[in-house]
Structure 1
Amino acid sequence: MADATGALDPDESSGGGGAETPIVALVGPTGTGKTALSIALAQQLGGEVVNADSMQFYRGMDIGTAKATVDERQGVPHHLLDIMEVTEEASVARFQEQARTCFAEIRSRGRVPILVGGSGLYVRAALDRIEFPGTDAVVRGRLEQELHDGGPGPLRARLRQIDPAAEERIRDDRRLVRALEVHELTGRPFTAFMPERTHVAPAVQIALDLDRTVLHERLERRVHAMVRGGLEDEVRGLIPHGLREGRTASQALGYGQFLAVVDGTMTVDRAIESTVVGTRQFAKRQLTWFCADPRVHWLPAEDPLLVNRALELVRSGTHAD
């Protein structure tokens, strides 16, 4: 059993009866305390952390992504941090392969994989039965040129004919191009590749619930702390490494704003305000995403027995799926 501090007896750390502890996934909105809980659970379960925050893949993007420092990791091994240059574009399909390789390697050491992050599609890619069709630079380039020349209208009309369900759901131009690319390459509608809510291996997903007002205040304080901690200098230091050219990295919250500060097109105060607003909106989208998944267990983020509660969920989930 778990004691008052939340610690499991050694014989029960794998769920008892020789059952393998499921993959633990800590998900949900940014700023709720996933990192601290992941460290506590890793120490109790003999776990290793696998990052599922797409912006923490990038080397040098530390302050603005709230990446755990070496000291904060407290000796717990972390994987899939600092694996990309800022000029590279993150790929969900590649992440799926990397994450599942990490899971297998961690298991081979007799330890527990703990997936941590709020990038919803990346979490599902790691945990769920989901297939990612290939890509073709020539086809995508042609479609992007059509988008540039004629706007989204003609492309939407084409998608409406071949995959009306996808056309109805897609709101941004990037996914519009992707849906047409997938159909052209595979002959199958984009909706055919939508993920099932079925884990490929036993997993327990835990999210932390926090009062919205408290979360908003916490996110604002965190942005101010990032600025005091040197976010602008971090952005300036990444420019020679290609931050401006990175299609994904340059759009990260805080980084785009402080690139504008460097360029003189935005004041620091305006950059802070924009980053706070953007972070709150991002947290709202994360909340919507994970609330839609009935498999996610929500725990009060400020519960003094949070670690204990999470360990109980993990133990009970040993026999799930």
Structure 2
Amino acid sequence: MYSDKKIAVAAVVGPTATGKTALGLQLCQRLQGEIVSCDSMQIYQGLPIGTAQPTREEREAAPYHLVDFLPVEEPFSVSDYVQMASSTIGQIHDRGHLPVLVGGTGLYARSLLRGFSFEEGGRDEALRQRLFQEAETCGPQALYQCLQKLDPKSAQEIHPNNVKRVIRALEYIQLCGEPFSAQAERSQTAESPYRYGMLCLSFRDREKLYRRIERRVDHMLEQGLLEEAQAFYLRCQKAQRIPTAAQAIGYKELFPYFRGEVSLEEAVENLKRETRRYAKRQITWFSREKNAAFLYVDDWEGQEEGLLEESLRLLRQWHVGGGEAVEQ
């Protein structure tokens, strides 16, 4: 529902390697915007290559928020993100600028833009640590199978390897005595605090996207991903608990190489394969989003200005951007 009392937010989402940052920066330049990152791994300090954090040049092109600020050992939840992003968006709006949400973490985007509540359930750090230890000892599949039995609906929404979310769901079930999915269903009725439009970048030709992903991985390796991952691996060895960031694609595929379990060639191929799979999951996730428009990058090859103008047109339809969206 249109309401000029709500803060306007432009969102640029979609799978990895589709050019979200570039489009987000263009929108900022045209609409006097500031970028709010929507990436669950770019928040961490010391991992700029593997998490594809914005470059210095990109950060100079527009104000950039919620990247490279959290030590890898620190816990960080969806609730933490929503709280920080909401505060940041309010500050950007108060400056008379347009918040431009950019990233590919679908759960972050959905939770923030739809105004999901995370007040229920609370936390039990002892239980959480015990579940993390169980995951490290028995493997993530054991916890996931437990979730499948207790809450099949949540199990369908959560990837088996997303240990952090599986543990949060099990923690909620233990503390509240009801399925984690029950909370999500109640949240579905919440009204968004924002007037937003969601631009989802993707490719009609999936093979083109996969080739871009492979080139991106090769470029990361040239930039020094292997050295960055090895330093992080050694840091994880000294930690009392494996940091959440160790589950990020780009690191967990290289760790077996450092342990001598696979060759470098095998590790790199695993990294490319897992990144392709992740991109496929991202596409599936965003295809379910309401108030989202897919923009296919391969339809606009060699026409960057055309893609930008189409994005601006769609945002105007959502009453985002332009005179009515940003109070100057």
> When the two structures are superposed, what TM-score results if normalisation uses the length of structure 1?
0.83
Amino acid corresponding to residue 127 of structure 2 in structure 1: V
- Show the 5 A alignment for 1:1-321: 22-132=8-118, 133=120, 134-141=122-129, 155=146, 159=150, 165-166=153-154, 172=160, 174=163, 175=165, 177-194=167-184, 195-196=187-188, 198-210=191-203, 211-239=205-233, 241-242=235-236, 245=239, 246-302=242-298, 303=300, 304=303, 305-318=306-319
Q: Distance in 1 between matches of 2:160 and 2:144?
A: 12
Q: Distance in 2 between matches of 1:62 and 1:154?
A: 34
Point out where structure 1 has 5 or more consecutive residues left out of the alignment: 1-17
Point out where structure 2 has 5 or more consecutive residues left out of the alignment: none
Q: Is the CA contact 1:155–1:176 (under 8 Å) kept in the aligned structure 2?
A: no
Q: Distance in 2 between matches of 1:281 and 1:58?
A: 23
Q: Distance in 2 between matches of 1:279 and 1:154?
A: 24
Amino acid corresponding to residue 50 of structure 1 in structure 2: V
Q: Distance in 2 between matches of 1:193 and 1:142?
A: 23
Q: Is the CA contact 2:143–2:167 (under 8 Å) kept in the aligned structure 1?
A: no
CA shift in 2, pair 1:20/1:90, >3 Å: closer
Q: Distance in 2 between matches of 1:208 and 1:262?
A: 35
SS in 2 for 1:293: coil
- Cα deviation code 1:255-306 (max 9, x no counterpart): 1233333333332211211110000000000000001113211112242101
- Cα deviation code 1:54-98 (max 9, x no counterpart): 111111111112211011334300000011112223311100100
Amino acid corresponding to residue 264 of structure 1 in structure 2: G
Q: Is the CA contact 1:21–1:314 (under 8 Å) kept in the aligned structure 2?
A: no
Q: Is the CA contact 1:202–1:318 (under 8 Å) kept in the aligned structure 2?
A: yes
Q: Distance in 2 between matches of 1:37 and 1:287?
A: 18
> When the two structures are superposed, what TM-score results if normalisation uses the length of structure 2?
0.81
Q: Is the CA contact 2:147–2:170 (under 8 Å) kept in the aligned structure 1?
A: no
Amino acid corresponding to residue 113 of structure 1 in structure 2: P
Q: Distance in 1 between matches of 2:63 and 2:149?
A: 48
Q: Distance in 2 between matches of 1:216 and 1:79?
A: 29
- Cα deviation code 1:218-261 (max 9, x no counterpart): 00011011111111111233345547744321121121233333
Q: Distance in 2 between matches of 1:154 and 1:282?
A: 21
Amino acid corresponding to residue 66 of structure 2 in structure 1: L
Q: Is the CA contact 1:257–1:275 (under 8 Å) kept in the aligned structure 2?
A: yes
- Give the count of matched residue pairs: 300
CA shift in 2, pair 1:45/1:93, >3 Å: same
CA shift in 2, pair 1:166/1:251, >3 Å: closer
Deviation at 1:20, TM superposition (A): 7.5
Q: Is the CA contact 1:21–1:318 (under 8 Å) kept in the aligned structure 2?
A: no
CA shift in 2, pair 1:273/1:158, >3 Å: closer
Q: Distance in 2 between matches of 1:73 and 1:128?
A: 27
SS in 2 for 1:285: helix
Q: Is the CA contact 1:209–1:298 (under 8 Å) kept in the aligned structure 2?
A: yes
Of the structure 1 ranges 197-206 and 302-311, higher mean CA displacement relative to structure 2 is found in 197-206
Amino acid corresponding to residue 179 of structure 1 in structure 2: A
Amino acid corresponding to residue 300 of structure 1 in structure 2: Y
Q: Distance in 2 between matches of 1:55 and 1:154?
A: 26
Aligned residues with identical type, % of pairs:
37
CA shift in 2, pair 1:244/1:23, >3 Å: farther
Q: Is the CA contact 1:39–1:74 (under 8 Å) kept in the aligned structure 2?
A: no
Amino acid corresponding to residue 285 of structure 1 in structure 2: R
Rg comparison, structure with higher value: 1
